[in-house]
Amino acid sequence: MAAPRTLLVVYHSMTGGTRQMAEAAQAGAEADGNVAVRLLHAAQAGPDDVLGADGYLFATPENLAAISGQLKDFFDRCYYPALDRINGRAYACLVCAGSDGQNAVRQIERIATGWRLKRVAEPIVVCTRAQTPEAILAPKHLAADELERCRALGEAMSAGLALGVF
């Protein structure tokens, strides 16, 4: 029997919103038990984790219209060691943003294009509308319907990996 396929979920979270999104996606991906799911904070994930996975879910807050510094650091450390070694693997992304989140999505898409990954789902952006320093820094508590979208994405990625669709 072949080893199960692996979904790597790499996240960074400052106020808990992105962590909630990543954990919901992890729960969805683990629901059927057909795929091994590894949830790693961006500071803990490295090139061996990237090389050992069959698909990826990248989760970040949008900070100053960009991916978080710690997710950027993850990509900086892993990009060249994985370049041309993970072509065609599946990915999707989750962004927790105070406004529109689109710049963070674009950054992840550019990195994924360089890695020659295949986007298998539309990005999920949860907008908290936090615009004041107090609201931006406050712990986040995302709505159940937003977390359900993340759970469903994890479930779909797991099913696609398990069935060999991607």
pLDDT per position as a tens digit, 86-104: 999 999 999 999 989 999 9
Q: How many CB atoms lie within 10 A of CB 24?
A: 24
Q: How many CB atoms lie within 10 A of CB 95?
A: 27
Q: Give pLDDT, residue 3.
A: 75
SS3 96: strand
Global model pTM greater than 0.85: yes
Q: Give pLDDT, residue 4.
A: 87
